[in-house]
């Protein structure tokens, strides 16, 4: 039996991503209809949700989602476990996988997640690392699908720190969905060549495309979706003053939104800094769907957890294709 992990966006094939999003829509409409962790099931009930960095949405959505599905969330806050300082990731994985149904982890280096997954027979899910935020992108795509009725063929522009976790995930998850993803940021703050190359490979198979540019107008022109993120990610606080200058031309204000399609929707993973990466008139305006996006963390992650438990042989979710 192969254990399915979700460490980066492309860990789901295009068909699998579509299946998870469809399940998320089904579970949003009937929130207690899928119970892979419920007491009457044969499997384990507890999901460990570990934070090496702070969180509001991720903590609340995983906690609520696990409860909704009949399980018990075990939240481990920054500094509360031995992981990383008194005990290796490998040893931690070997302990956790004997007790819990799944391991959800927010950390720094992506390699830590790879090491955790390599030593775990239960699914490991990336709840944000320095390089990716794949659960956020499932929520973002679900939000776009609800508002636009489709994903494939739509154009999605991301402006700002184009070398951060959100930029990488917009690129990889967007092309997996067959979208035309345009990423704009200043020289030196663009996605790494290997991530662009991977996105281009996926786009070639899905009909999507990739544009990486320093020109925000080129990214925005006629875009169906406009997205941004903080200019100072967790762990970059010492660079704050420099970053506030670096990304100034990539702020999403009304003039930027006017370059996108008239019915474009605005996304932000939150927390947001009004007056910096986004103007208040945009995030609090009629094109903003950020509150739907935040709520969809819950529905998308429930579906993802149910899906990986099903694929890993730990639960059976009715309506999903049989395990690969």
Residues of each annotated binding site for carbamoyl phosphate: 55-58, 82, 106, 133-136, 269-270, 297
CB distance 175 to 208 below 8 Å: yes
Active-site residue among 229, 310, 311, 314?
A: 229
CB of 269 to ligand CP, least distance (A): 4
What is the CA 73 to chain-centroid distance, rounded? Answer: 19
CB distance 314 to 44 below 8 Å: yes
CB of 58 to ligand CP, least distance (A): 3
Closest Cα partner for 134 from 251, 243, 4? 4
Residues in the site for ligand CP, rule: CB under 6 A?
55-58, 128, 136, 269-270
CB distance 136 to 102 below 8 Å: no
Comparing CB distances to ligand CP, the nearer of 169 and 312 is: 169
Active-site residue among 4, 44, 268, 297?
A: 297
Q: Is 314 a catalytic residue?
A: no
Active-site residue among 11, 59, 136, 310?
A: 136
Q: Pick out the residues of the known binding site for L-ornithine.
A: 165, 229, 233-234
227 counts as binding ligand NVA under rule CB under 6 A: no
> Contacting ligand NVA (CB under 6 A), which of 126, 169, 230, 288?
230
CB distance 163 to 191 below 8 Å: yes
Closest Cα partner for 302 from 43, 104, 161, 144? 104
165 counts as binding ligand NVA under rule CB under 6 A: yes
CB of 164 to ligand NVA, least distance (A): 5
Measured distance CA(140)–CA(157) in Å, rounded: 13
Tell me the residue ranges of DSSP E strands in the chain: 46-51, 72-76, 102-106, 124-126, 155-159, 180-184, 209-213, 225-228, 265-268
Q: Which entry of ligand NVA, ligand CP, none binds 214, CB below 5 to 8 A by partner kind?
A: none
Q: For ligand NVA, how many residues bind (rule: CB under 6 A)?
A: 9
Q: Where on the chain is the footprint of ligand NVA (CB under 6 A)?
A: 128, 164-166, 229-230, 233-234, 269
Provide the annotated active-site residues. Answer: 106, 133, 136, 229, 269, 297
């Amino acid at each position: 039996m192969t254990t399915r992990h979700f460490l980066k966006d492309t860990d789901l094939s295009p068909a699998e991503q579509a299946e998870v999003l469809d399940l998320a829509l089904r579970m949003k409409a009937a929130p207690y209809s899928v119970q892979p962790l419920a007491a009457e099931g044969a499997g384990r009930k507890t999901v460990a949700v570990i934070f090496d960095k702070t969180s509001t949405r991720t903590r609340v959505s995983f906690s609520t989602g696990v409860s909704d599905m009949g399980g018990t969330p075990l939240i481990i806050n920054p500094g509360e476990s031995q992981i990383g300082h008194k005990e290796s990731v490998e040893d931690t994985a070997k302990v956790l996988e004997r007790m819990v149904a799944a391991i959800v982890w927010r950390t720094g280096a992506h390699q830590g997640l790879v090491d955790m997954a390599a030593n775990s027979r239960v699914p490991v899910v990336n709840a944000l690392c320095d390089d990716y935020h794949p659960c956020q992108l499932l929520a973002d795509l679900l939000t776009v699908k609800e508002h636009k009725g489709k994903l494939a063929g739509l154009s999605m522009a991301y402006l700002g720190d184009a070398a951060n976790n959100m930029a990488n995930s917009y690129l990889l998850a967007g092309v997996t969905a067959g979208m035309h993803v345009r990423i704009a940021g200043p020289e030196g703050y663009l996605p790494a060549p290997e991530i662009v190359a991977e996105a281009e490979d996926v786009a070639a198979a899905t009909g999507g495309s990739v544009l990486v540019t320093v020109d925000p107008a080129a990214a925005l022109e006629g875009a169906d979706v406009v997205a941004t993120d903080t200019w100072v990610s967790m762990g970059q606080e010492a660079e704050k003053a420099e970053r506030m200058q670096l990304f100034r031309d990539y702020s999403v204000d009304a003039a930027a939104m006017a370059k996108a399609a008239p019915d474009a929707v605005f996304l932000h993973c939150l927390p947001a800094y009004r007056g910096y990466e986004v103007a208040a008139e945009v995030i609090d305006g009629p094109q903003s769907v950020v509150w739907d996006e935040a709520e969809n963390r819950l529905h998308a992650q429930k579906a993802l957890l149910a899906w990986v438990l099903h694929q890993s042989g730990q639960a059976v979710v009715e309506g999903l294709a049989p395990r690969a």
